Structure 1
Amino acid sequence: MELQKRLVEPFHFSGNHVGCLLIHGFSGSPSEMRLLGECLAKLGWTVHGIRLSGHGTTPEEMAKTRWEDWTKDAVAGVAELRKTCDTVIGVGLSMGGLLALHLATLGLLDGIVTLNAPMVLADRRTRYAKLIRPFITFIGKPKSHRVASAPESIPERFVYERIPVDGLVSLNRGIRQVRSKLSSITCPALLMQSRKDFTVNPVSVQIIHEQIKHVNPIVHYWEKSGHILTLGREREEVALKVHEFLQKFTTETSV
């Protein structure tokens, strides 16, 4: 129980004037982002890892929440960082990356880092969530997704194995909304995508790049990692890539 509590708790590390808002994925928890956050904090950056509503508790609790709740959580995270940082960068995994893109469309961020942000989900069945909603409340994650990520994941991660269908319907709506507004993004961006992603179709990063190419986004593919880039085989290199991007936003010599 104590381990679970630690995994799902939000976290904050004080550092320099550049704040990193770390946002976990759909049905996940802050445990997906903690290692990255600890690494960035050691390098001098301010880090704020949030927990999205309904996450880190039970699938039943998540079923009560929607895209609108998660966007409010993300906006609140930016506001918290703005109290001490004059620059805020959104760093999001999967749906967390989608939320970072959403914040950027609102002009709330100075930069974004997306890790396997979804524009197209790999499992075609997810597109029909609205049709099955009257008949099914929860669906299990495809076994292939769990097996594919297991060899490269660390044990300390809290994630739901059952997904509320209402939440999936809401996620699909969020994807459509963000995709329609991508061209309004004006801040620098680092877009990262795993080649072996069985959750998000890798074509997603190409769609994002095409819509925000006016900001000259950096696109980086990872060859050995699965969907959870922050806990995969290349997690240390991922952290260094984020650190490299963050250096564009500061003149401090201590970082």
Structure 2
Amino acid sequence: MQQGSHAFGAKICDTGHEMIPNVEFFFPGDNRGVLLIHGLTGTPQEMRILGKGLNNRGFTTRGVQLAGHCGSVDDLLATGWTDWYRSVETAAREMRGSVEHMFVAGLSMGALLALRVAEEHPDWVDGVGVLGATFRYDGWSLPALNRLSFLLPMLKRLGIGRDRMFMEQPPYGLRDENLRRKISEAMASGDSTAAGLPGNPWHSLAELYLMSRRVRRDLRRVVAPCLIAHATEDDIASSRNAELVARRVSGPTEMLWLDDSYHMITIDRERRRLIEGVADFFARVAAAGFATERAA
């Protein structure tokens, strides 16, 4: 999972350093590749249903695991946004060399990382799936985090709050109540490979906001077509995040608004609609030969 919450200042448990398991997934398909990117404190599992759905429609899909994720809190705190981006950039470089058309799609913070690849490597990326983009935690369930977020980079520079985190709280980005219960149980079990960490460390959130500024500044450099999918009642990131992308990127955009989901649109009630929307958009871009036209 990726979102923070209004439980301000809860202590981080000292979990120590352990070997981080690799829970990436890869589904081979045709010459159209899709790199899928999870969110902050999340796991590739939150992208797996989308990855399998796209693969069923012919695409080659890979769910990348960001540096420091799927381990302990200390593992995450040992990394920053440039480390997370390098994980994506490395995976994108590998995929670009093995497919004719490469697409990147990310959820929440993963959407920012997908946009960053498109900013930095326009010659690699044929299309972008911007899913629940989170430049700011300004959803209806996070009033405290929204008010205090601007302080986090300064607190990190001063070395304040390393042992603090915003704990996850219902609805956990999920409108589906049965799935919400299962995710809550998975987080409580302590297995971060299944549902991610139970909260967002202050210093990791500070890194997200530093990345957000950089990605937002360079959005005009995104020339690839973008499918921007967002829940109309997103509890974590308001629709203003999606509208920002649509307004600032240079490439063509399409909007997909989801009315029966919250933030975690890749696994919530309208996941099948999302799969169909992403598959259709990427298929149309590939068929139109965007990469060829761009190089001409």
TM norm structure 2: 0.77
Does 1:127 find its partner at 2:150? yes
Deviation, 1:195, is: 1.4
CA distance in 2, matches of 1:211, 1:221: 18
Q: 2:128 corresponds to which residue? A: 112
Q: Label 1:77 to 1:193 Cα distance change in 2 as closer, same or farther (>3 A).
A: same
What is the identity, as a one-letter code, of the residue corresponding to 1:201?
S
Q: Is the 1:152–1:231 Cα contact (8 Å) retained in structure 2?
A: no
Does 1:95 find its partner at 2:109? yes
Does 1:65 find its partner at 2:79? yes
Q: 1:249 corresponds to which residue? A: 285
1:240 to 255, 259, 276: 276
2:56 to 27, 42, 50: 42
CA distance in 2, matches of 1:248, 1:228: 25
Q: Is the 2:68–2:79 Cα contact (8 Å) retained in structure 1?
A: yes
Deviation, 1:201, is: 2.1
Q: 2:5 corresponds to which residue? A: none
Deviation, 1:145, is: 4.6
Q: Is the 2:28–2:60 Cα contact (8 Å) retained in structure 1?
A: yes
Deviation, 1:135, is: 3.5
Q: Is the 1:17–1:46 Cα contact (8 Å) retained in structure 2?
A: yes
**Matched residue SS, 2:195:** coil
CA distance in 1, matches of 2:252, 2:267: 27
**How many equivalent pairs are there?**
246
Moved over 4 A (4+): 147-150
**Matched residue SS, 1:102:** helix
Gaps of 5+ in 1: none
Q: Label 1:173 to 1:152 Cα distance change in 2 as closer, same or farther (>3 A).
A: farther
**Matched residue SS, 2:266:** helix
Cα deviations by residue, 1:86-119 (Å, 9 ceiling, x for unpaired): 1110010001100010011111311100111122
CA distance in 2, matches of 1:164, 1:150: 26
Greater radius of gyration (CA): 2
**Matched residue SS, 1:215:** coil
Does 1:151 find its partner at 2:177? yes
Q: 1:33 corresponds to which residue? A: 47
Gaps of 5+ in 2: 1-18, 139-144, 184-193, 289-296
What is the identity, as a one-letter code, of the residue corresponding to 1:9?
V
CA distance in 2, matches of 1:182, 1:135: 31
RMSD of aligned residue pairs (Cα, Å): 2.2
TM norm structure 1: 0.89
Deviation, 1:215, is: 2.2
Q: Once structures 1 and 2 are overlaid, which stretch shifts more, 84-93 or 159-168?
A: 159-168
Q: Is the 2:135–2:209 Cα contact (8 Å) retained in structure 1?
A: no
Q: Label 1:93 to 1:147 Cα distance change in 2 as closer, same or farther (>3 A).
A: closer
Deviation, 1:126, is: 2.5
Q: 2:217 corresponds to which residue? A: 180
**Matched residue SS, 2:26:** strand
Cα deviations by residue, 1:222-246 (Å, 9 ceiling, x for unpaired): 1111111001000011101011111
Q: Label 1:136 to 1:79 Cα distance change in 2 as closer, same or farther (>3 A).
A: same
Deviation, 1:197, is: 1.3
Matching of residues 183-198 of structure 1 within 5 Å: 183-198=220-235
CA distance in 2, matches of 1:64, 1:87: 34
Cα deviations by residue, 1:197-217 (Å, 9 ceiling, x for unpaired): 1211220111111102x4220
What is the identity, as a one-letter code, of the residue corresponding to 2:128?
I
Q: Is the 1:8–1:31 Cα contact (8 Å) retained in structure 2?
A: no
Q: Is the 2:22–2:65 Cα contact (8 Å) retained in structure 1?
A: yes
Q: 2:161 corresponds to which residue? A: 136
Question: Kindly, what percent of the aligned residue pairs are identical?
Answer: 25
